[in-house]
Amino acid sequence: APLGGLEMAKSRARLVIWCLVLASVGFELAKWRRARGGTHATHVGPHLGGAHRFGSLSAHRRHRVGHHDDDAGAGVHGRTRTHANTQAVPLAIRTSRREEVAVSDAAVMPLTRTSQPKGDKSSCAGFPGVEYAGEVVEGGWGADKAIGLASSAAACCARCQTHATCNVWVFCDPAERRCVDKNLEGQCWLKRQPLLRGVAPSAMASGDAVPWTSGADFDAVSSDSHGEVTDSNLTSWFKPLDVTRVTPEYGDEVNKQDPRRRECGSPAADAYASVNATCLERSRTAVETLKGVKSESSFVAWHERSASFDGLAVRWGIGHFQPSAAACAAACVRHVPLGVKVGGPFGALPCNAFVWCPVDVDGGVCFEPDAHTHGAGDCWLKFTETPEAPQVNQRERNDDDAFFVNGVSFKDRHPDAPFLTQWTSGVVLPTGWTPSRGTYGPRARW
């Protein structure tokens, strides 16, 4: 009897071993079949719904920056390094006057502006997996549901075709699970951007991970017109910024003003998570800018090549094409605030700063450490407190000492960054005022 029990125990042990072997083989076979089927694990960068977002926000922030107000000119030739401590911040970004923006898992756009189907004709079918950029003319975050929702892509398209200024629409299909998961189902955004036949519209993101469906009406009247900037008066109101000037001039001898200060802090100090739009609207800078007569004769645009200035976007730059830095500056001078219902959380603020990507930039794009593709000719209109002392994000060489963080240069933190800053930036000030070289803002340390 004992011998029979021993044999039975051995049989059971062999059975268990064979079961484990078969389970292991099955598991490996399943992994092999999954790989053969093309379902590979891929890394996708997070993407903010930037086509629907106002303000200089980015999805790839890795650091929270402490107080950082270094002289932005001290490093043009031999800067001294001083650094603040950094710590991680949440990826989702929030403004004080809007709900948290929906963050979707979407592939970052490649360095091209024609990755979507080329536009030659209008179609209400739309292209799934594409999120077109543009200035929002109807719908958007906080819009009336009767206006901001549509039952289908065709309905959203039809609404765009009957709108006076819409030529681009973006729709999130209620039948698309990702739209439901992100509470985006049925959202219909009507936008406008310059369109050229044979060239795909500017897009924020594209790929299988993008839940949006987008379409464009190439038969619509051009949504943007560029005012001519004549050479006759260009030198009188479009002037180079002196990067050696340490302090601003607040008017001439006849109309001297007291210095202004930042009343609402640095928006980028915590990756724009705590921007107080109401404070900005009531600031001395905003009140005085809105009070002034906006014309080239009453304002001077001071510009700097190879520089990127910080600010909150009062007009989204992607898709807002301007042929020159002067034209971008003129667009800033002529900008009329649309209000928060149409222009987003910063829509009530005036424009007093601009950032432009040169039309002849190498590769057709300007580098920025965010989730978007910034194309040649893109013109960002911004508001910043004390534009006479701009906050500098990038300036000249990206491996300069001024941009080091814990011994690591901006260029090393962002391997795709070019050797020299590609942007041209500027500020708009009343005639008689002269800007300083400014200070390095928090984004210089991102």
Most confident range, picked from 71-85, 256-270, 284-298 = 256-270
Distance separating alpha carbons of residues 299 and 403, to the nearest angstrom: 32
Q: What integer pLDDT is reported at residue 121 of this predicted model?
A: 54
Range of the domain at 312: 47-97+227-445
Please give the structure tokens belonging to residue 440. Answer: 């390095």
**Does an H or E element contain 308, and which?**
strand 307-309
Distance separating alpha carbons of residues 442 and 411, to the nearest angstrom: 16
> Does residue 358 fall inside a structural domain?
yes
Within 13 A of 124's CA, how many CA atoms are on the CB side? Answer: 11
DSSP secondary structure string for all residues of 333-381: HH-----HHHH-TTTTSPP-EEEE--TT-GGGEE--SSSS-EETTBEEE
Averaged confidence pLDDT in the chain: 74
Most confident range, picked from 1-5, 62-66, 69-73, 356-360 = 356-360
At 242, the pLDDT band (50, 70, 90 cuts) reads very high
CA distances from 105 to 35, 48, 59, 180, 293 (A): 22, 9, 11, 14, 44
Average pLDDT over residues 211-223: 77
At 93, the pLDDT band (50, 70, 90 cuts) reads very low
Residue type (1 letter), 50: G
At 59, the pLDDT band (50, 70, 90 cuts) reads very low
Q: What integer pLDDT is reported at residue 110 of this predicted model?
A: 35
Q: What integer pLDDT is reported at residue 295 of this predicted model?
A: 54
- pLDDT greater at residue 116 or residue 7: 7
What burial class does residue 87 get, using C-beta atoms within 10 Å of its C-beta: 0-12 exposed, 13-18 middle, 19+ buried? exposed
Asked if residue 412 has pLDDT above 50, the reply is yes
Average pLDDT over residues 404-414: 86
Question: How many domains are there within the chain?
Answer: 1
Average pLDDT over residues 27-53: 40
Strand partners, 394: 308
At 29, the pLDDT band (50, 70, 90 cuts) reads low
Q: What integer pLDDT is reported at residue 243 of this predicted model?
A: 93
Nearest to 57 by CA among 111, 94, 104: 94
Asked if residue 358 has pLDDT above 80, the reply is yes
Strand partners, 104: 47
> Does residue 209 fall inside a structural domain?
no
Share of the chain above pLDDT 90, in %: 29
> Does residue 241 fall inside a structural domain?
yes
CA distances from 78 to 72, 209, 243, 409 (A): 12, 45, 14, 15
Please give the structure tokens belonging to residue 187. Answer: 């959202």
Residue type (1 letter), 206: S
- Spatial neighbors of 393 by CB under 8 A, at least 6 apart, are 308, 309, 310, 441, 443, 444
> Does residue 397 fall inside a structural domain?
yes
> Does residue 87 fall inside a structural domain?
yes
Phi and psi at 420, nearest 5°, equal -110, 145
Does the pTM exceed 0.85? no
Q: What integer pLDDT is reported at residue 279 of this predicted model?
A: 95
Asked if residue 382 has pLDDT above 90, the reply is yes
Asked if residue 287 has pLDDT above 90, the reply is yes
- pLDDT greater at residue 270 or residue 143: 270
Please give the structure tokens belonging to residue 208. Answer: 């299988």
Q: What integer pLDDT is reported at residue 126 of this predicted model?
A: 87
Q: Tokens 């300083």, residue? A: 436
Distance separating alpha carbons of residues 92 and 205, to the nearest angstrom: 17
Share of the chain above pLDDT 70, in %: 67
> Does residue 348 fall inside a structural domain?
yes
At 197, the pLDDT band (50, 70, 90 cuts) reads low
At 224, the pLDDT band (50, 70, 90 cuts) reads very low
> Does residue 266 fall inside a structural domain?
yes
pLDDT digits (tens, 9 = 90+) for 97-126: 222 222 223 333 333 333 445 555 566 778
Asked if residue 15 has pLDDT above 50, the reply is yes
Residues shown for the chain:
446
> Does residue 111 fall inside a structural domain?
no
Distance separating alpha carbons of residues 286 and 430, to the nearest angstrom: 13
